[in-house]
Amino acid sequence: MSESEKEPIFGAPVEAKTGEGAPSQAPMYYDSTQSPRAKAILYGFVSIIIINVLVALVLCFYQGAKTKRDGFLYFLMACCLIGLVAAEIILIPLVRRGDLAKEKSWFLYFLGFCILLESIFTDILVMH
27-82 pLDDT, tens digit per residue, is 555 555 668 888 888 889 999 999 999 999 999 999 999 888 888 889 999 999 99
Residue 16 lies in a domain: no
Is 107:91 a contact under the CB 8 Å cutoff? Answer: yes
Q: How far apart are CA 125 and CA 128, in angstroms?
A: 5
Residue 14 lies in a domain: no
Residue 40 lies in a domain: yes
Q: Measuring CA to CA, how many Å separate 31 from each of 26, 27, 41, 100?
A: 11, 8, 14, 14
Residue 106 lies in a domain: yes
pTM tops 0.75? no
Q: How far apart are CA 119 and CA 42, in angstroms?
A: 18
Residue 96 lies in a domain: yes
pLDDT in tens, 95-110: 878 788 878 778 888 9
Q: How far apart are CA 93 and CA 114, in angstroms?
A: 19
Confidence of residue 5 (pLDDT cuts 50, 70, 90): low
Query: What is the tally of structural domains in the chain?
Result: 1
Residue 4 lies in a domain: no
What domain range includes position 84?
34-127
Residue 95 lies in a domain: yes
Residue 66 lies in a domain: yes
